[in-house]
Structure 1
Amino acid sequence: MLPSIIIVNYKSSRLILDCLHSIYRQGQEEFEVIVVDNSDDEEGRKAISGSYPVVKWIRMEYNAGFARANNAGIRAATGDIILLLNPDTLVEDNAIAECAARLRSSEYVAAGVQLLNTDRSPQITGNYFMTGGLNHLMALPAVGRLIRWLGYRLKVKKTNVASAEGLVEVDWINGAFLMVKRTAIDKAGLLDEDFFLYAEEIEWCSRLRRIGKLCVYGDLHTLHLQGESANDAFGSSGKGYYNLSDRKGYQIMLSGLVRIRKQFGAGWFIFHLAAYLFTVPVYLLVTIIRTLFLQPGRKREWANWWGFSVNVLRICGFVPVILSKKPHFYKVL
Structure 2
Amino acid sequence: MDLSIIIVNYCTYDLTKQTIESVINKNHPFSYEIYVVDNASADGSLENLKKDFYKESETGLIKFIANEENKGFAHANNLALNQISSKYVLLLNSDTIVVDDCIEKCIDYMENDNKLGAVGCKVVLPDGTLDKACRRSFPDFNVSFYRMTGLSHIFPKSERFGRYNLTYLDENETYEVDCLVGAFMLLRSAAIRQVGLLDEAFFMYGEDIDWCYRIKAAGWKIVYYSDAEIIHYKGASSKQKNKIIYEFYRAMYIFYNKHYKDEYSRIITAITYTGIWGMYGLKLSLNTLKINYGMIMPNKTPKEPVSQLSK
- Using the size of structure 2 for normalisation, the TM-score is 0.78
Aligned residues: 276
- Structure 1 position 112 matched with structure 2 position 113: no
Q: What amino acid is aligned across from residue 6 of structure 1 in structure 2?
A: I
- Structure 1 position 145 matched with structure 2 position 153: no
SS in 1 for 2:244: helix
List, as ranges, runs of 4+ consecutive aligned residues in structure 1 with deviation greater than 3 Å: 134-140, 146-157, 266-270, 276-281, 299-304
Alignment partner, residue 32 of structure 1: 33
Alignment partner, residue 16 of structure 1: 16
- 1:65 Cα deviation (Å)? 1.0
Q: Deviations over 1:265-306 (max 9, x none)?
A: 26455332122455589x69xx9xxxxxxxxxxx644999xx
Structure 2: how far apart are the matches of 1:154 and 1:164? 14
Q: Deviations over 1:216-275 (max 9, x none)?
A: 11011000111223x13x2x3xxxxxxxxx221111111221111112126455332122
Structure 1: how far apart are the matches of 2:159 and 2:98? 38
The 5 Å alignment of 1:237-276 reads 246-265=242-261, 267=266, 269-276=269-276
Structure 2: how far apart are the matches of 1:15 and 1:158? 32
Give unpaired runs (5+ residues) of structure 1. Answer: 237-245, 288-298, 305-330
SS in 2 for 1:256: helix
Identical-pair percentage: 26
Q: Deviations over 1:18-64 (max 9, x none)?
A: 01111122222731110111125442342343363321011112002
Aligned CA distance change for structure 1 residues 248 and 30 (closer, same or farther; 3 Å): same
Alignment partner, residue 195 of structure 1: 202
Aligned CA distance change for structure 1 residues 7 and 275 (closer, same or farther; 3 Å): same
Q: Deviations over 1:84-143 (max 9, x none)?
A: 0000000011111221122133121100000001122222211112533x4335665xxx
Alignment partner, residue 50 of structure 2: 46
SS in 1 for 2:182: coil
Aligned CA distance change for structure 1 residues 48 and 206 (closer, same or farther; 3 Å): farther
Aligned CA distance change for structure 1 residues 180 and 301 (closer, same or farther; 3 Å): same
Cα contact 2:121–2:184 (8 A) shared by 1? yes
Give the alignment partner of residue 236 of structure 2, picking from 228, 241, 247: 228
Structure 1: how far apart are the matches of 2:229 and 2:156? 30
- Using the size of structure 1 for normalisation, the TM-score is 0.73
- Which has the higher Rg, Structure 1 or Structure 2? 1
Structure 2: how far apart are the matches of 1:7 and 1:150? 36
More helix by share: 1
Alignment partner, residue 299 of structure 2: none
Alignment partner, residue 131 of structure 1: 140
Alignment partner, residue 76 of structure 2: 69
Q: What amino acid is aligned across from residue 14 of structure 1 in structure 2?
A: D
Structure 2: how far apart are the matches of 1:38 and 1:76? 17
SS in 2 for 1:64: coil
Give unpaired runs (5+ residues) of structure 2. Answer: 295-308
SS in 2 for 1:228: coil
Alignment partner, residue 79 of structure 1: 86
Q: CA RMSD in A?
A: 3.0
